[in-house]
Structure 1
Amino acid sequence: MHTHNIETRTEAQKIAVALLWLEDMRRQEKWNLTLDEACILMGSVSRNTYKSWVRKAKNNNEVTLSRDTITRLSLLLGIHKALALSAPQGYEFDFFKRPIDHPLFQGKSAKEQILIDSDILFINAVRNHFDARRA
């Protein structure tokens, strides 16, 4: 039983770090996400829900998220990692925000297209696209 509590705390800490990462990615020089856009990426949660999660994470309180939301955070982290590893140094954020000439994106940026189609399957397709570019 005690081991389970440690595992739960570890997962909760990972969730908090991921939420704070997304909040940091909202900055203009990074992914330039509005509060509403961050809410869409998290599965169209309300502003109050998102702000509550971030507040809890900042205060080192446990944040409980659905499996869907955890998956979304994981996929977004994967997209960021793939871009960081494949884009020229200093352009990893730009690649998320600029139009991409590929059928998956229909001439829009990854950011724009994910906000239009925020389904987990589509976000996963975007991650796979950028992962494939690394290879």
Structure 2
Amino acid sequence: MSLAYAYPLSRFEPAPLVDLNDKPTRERLSGSALKGFFKLSEAWNLRDEEACNLLGGLSSSAFYEWKKKPDRVLEVDRITRISYLLGIYKALHILYGDKLADQWAGMPNRNIIFKGKTPLEYMQEGGLLAMQTVRQLLDARRGGM
């Protein structure tokens, strides 16, 4: 006799995994990722230096080139960073009104994670892992975790 665990049926279906190591996948996603990032940068009133830092230390000249000609294929690290940031942007707009959602990243925060810094400062200093942490925090607040 075999014992098998029975789990209740659920409508939850995990999203299919996206293989960012696959160049055609990155080619397909890069343009919309950059477009979304530039809109996020504008909504958050990011200085170019802050935007470059969030992208993993992109040079100013490369950043201006990307703005002029966004038709390019991003590396795995950069597309992952943008994915986290756009997820943060979306979560903020679900949790708060548009004005607060767009100001939140630049406001000092007393949450233990941020230690009085702004979430933007935290993400610039901590890079990809900090972005992941902020995304998880906001998803948990939304009830998604």
For 1:82 and 1:91, the matched residues in 2 are separated by: 12
Number of positions where the alignment pairs a residue of Structure 1 with one of Structure 2: 121
Say whether 1:16 aligns with 2:31. yes
The alpha-carbon deviation at position 25 of structure 1 amounts to: 2.5
Q: Within 2, Cα distance between the matches of 1:65 and 1:11?
A: 7
Q: Secondary structure at the match of 1:18?
A: helix
1:51-90 counterparts in 2 under 5 A? 51-57=64-70, 61=71, 63-90=72-99
4+ residue runs of structure 1 moved beyond 6 angstroms?
none
Give the Cα separation in 2 of the matches to 1:66 and 1:38: 16
State the Cα distance separating 1:122 from its structure 2 match.
1.4
Contact 1:39 1:45 in 2 (8 A): yes
C-alpha contact (below 8 Å) 1:87/1:95 kept by paired residues: no
SS at match of 1:73: helix
In the alignment, what sits opposite 2:137?
A: 129
Matched with 2:112 is: 103
Considering fraction of residues, name the structure with more helix: 1
Name stretches of at least 5 consecutive residues in structure 2 with no aligned partner: 1-22
Percentage of identical aligned residues: 32
SS of equivalent residue, structure 1 residue 14: helix
Deviates more, 1:11-20 or 1:31-40: 11-20
Which stretch of the first structure deviates more once superposed, 45-54 or 125-134? 45-54
Residues in 2 aligned to 1:88 and 1:132: alpha-carbon distance in whole angstroms: 18
The equivalent residue for 1:112 is 121
CA contact (8 A) 1:83 1:130 kept: yes
Matched letter for residue 54 of structure 2: L
TM-score for the superposition, normalised by structure 1: 0.80
Distance in 1, matches of 2:53 and 2:101, equals 22
